């Protein structure tokens, strides 16, 4: 039913991959070793997010602790900031507000020490964590977006060599819009969340290209919101576009896009197509060695089986009534 669909899709909205760039990697080790450590950090973060998706918060916390240790070892400030922020969010959703505050303060301390421009982008989340009040969070996000838009206007007035600076500012604005979209989705403000996702998608597509991995992630996230709004045709069109582009570009997480497509097909009652896509996602996930995604496929297939049984029981009851 709709409540089950909302629960499944809403969890995905809250934990979708949502950064444009976060591992710049200022390391002092040999390049090949640094790259290996960075790949290990990314893999740990992906596994952590999938555990959050399934509600396995303790497992997610363990993975995030491993990631932050590696980030410290490689002196990768951006990875440290990002991982602490994720740890804070995991603590927050479990109601561990004191711990969440400490973790977010740790992230902020590294931001301030490094002079990173992402400080303003996280003020909104600080308001949310410290105040737990909707108005404060909205004020923080509004401050972030308006500040970045004002900066873009100033950069537009400057001459010559500001293109790279303007691109960075636009991507930060996209990151802020993406974060606000996830927050608004958590408040079931689906219309506003959809608009923020659309704006973030437009920016990412213009600056990174339509086949960039983050562009495809944003397409998938926006499709989830459209699906929750009952706009199933629009959702299917968008997620199908993401899947097709992912195929042509060789998206590294193509099986994740296939999973979302299969889920949306399930919600629209297209059971056979959903089963086919789930099995395709299963094959791709196994090739990628993504055990968490394999588990998600099995859960989706189990949900399809459950829905089929419920429909058959309903048909039997109707026949007996006649």
Task: Tell me the domains of the chain and their CATH numbers.
Answer: 209-322 (1.25.40.10)
Q: Which candidate, 51, 49, 3, 17, places its Cα nearest to that of 188? A: 3
145 compared with 122, residue with greater pLDDT: 145
Q: Which candidate, 94, 95, 93, 47, places its Cα nearest to that of 67? A: 47
Confidence of residue 118 (pLDDT cuts 50, 70, 90): very low
- pTM of the predicted protein model: 0.57
**Residue 12: predicted pLDDT:** 37
Rounded to the nearest angstrom, the gap between the alpha carbon of residue 154 and the centroid of all alpha carbons in its chain is 30
Confidence of residue 235 (pLDDT cuts 50, 70, 90): very high
CA distances from 224 to 9, 12, 32, 87, 231 (A): 6, 8, 38, 24, 10
Confidence of residue 112 (pLDDT cuts 50, 70, 90): low
Rounded to the nearest angstrom, the gap between the alpha carbon of residue 82 and the centroid of all alpha carbons in its chain is 13
Confidence of residue 140 (pLDDT cuts 50, 70, 90): low
Cβ contact 89:122 at 8 Å: no
Helix (H, G, I), strand (E, B) or coil at 17: coil
For residues 307 and 145, give the distance between their C-alpha atoms in angstroms, rounded to a whole number. Answer: 42
Q: Which candidate, 213, 184, 245, 263, places its Cα nearest to that of 5? A: 263
Cβ contact 141:123 at 8 Å: no
Cβ contact 127:137 at 8 Å: yes
128 compared with 164, residue with greater pLDDT: 164
For residues 256 and 224, give the distance between their C-alpha atoms in angstroms, rounded to a whole number. Answer: 13
For residues 307 and 299, give the distance between their C-alpha atoms in angstroms, rounded to a whole number. Answer: 12
For residues 152 and 304, give the distance between their C-alpha atoms in angstroms, rounded to a whole number. Answer: 47
Q: Which candidate, 183, 178, 277, 172, places its Cα nearest to that of 219? A: 178
CA distances from 34 to 45, 74, 83, 173, 227 (A): 17, 7, 17, 29, 40
CA distances from 128 to 135, 176, 200, 279, 287 (A): 9, 14, 21, 39, 39
């Amino acid at each position: 039913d709709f409540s089950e669909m909302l629960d499944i899709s809403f969890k995905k909205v809250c934990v979708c991959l949502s950064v444009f760039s976060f591992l710049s990697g200022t390391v002092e080790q040999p390049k090949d070793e640094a790259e290996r450590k960075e790949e290990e950090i990314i893999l740990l973060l992906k596994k952590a997010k999938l555990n959050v998706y399934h509600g396995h918060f303790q497992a997610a916390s363990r993975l995030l602790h491993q990631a932050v240790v590696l980030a410290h070892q490689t002196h990768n400030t951006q990875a440290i900031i990002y991982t602490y922020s994720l740890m804070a969010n995991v603590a927050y959703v479990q109601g561990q507000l004191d711990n969440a505050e400490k973790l977010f303060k740790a992230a902020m301390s590294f931001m301030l020490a490094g002079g990173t421009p992402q400080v303003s982008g996280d003020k909104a989340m600080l308001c949310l964590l410290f105040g737990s009040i909707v108005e404060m969070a909205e004020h923080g996000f509004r401050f972030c977006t308006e500040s970045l838009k004002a900066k873009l206007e100033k950069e537009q007035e400057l001459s010559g060599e500001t293109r790279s600076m303007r691109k960075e500012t636009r991507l930060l604005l996209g990151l802020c819009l993406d974060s606000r979209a996830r927050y608004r989705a958590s408040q079931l403000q689906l219309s506003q969340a959809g608009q923020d996702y659309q704006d973030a998608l437009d920016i990412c597509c213009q600056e990174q290209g339509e086949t960039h991995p983050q562009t495809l992630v944003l397409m998938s996230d926006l499709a989830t919101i459209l699906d929750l709004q009952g706009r199933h045709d629009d959702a299917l069109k968008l997620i199908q576009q993401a899947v097709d582009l992912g195929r042509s570009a060789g998206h590294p997480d193509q099986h994740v896009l296939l999973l979302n497509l299969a889920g949306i097909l399930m919600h629209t009652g297209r059971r056979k197509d959903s089963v086919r896509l789930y099995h395709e996602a299963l094959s791709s996930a196994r090739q990628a060695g993504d055990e968490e995604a394999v588990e998600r496929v099995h859960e989706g297939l189990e949900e399809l089986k459950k829905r089929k049984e419920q429909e058959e029981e309903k048909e039997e009851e109707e026949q007996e009534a006649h």
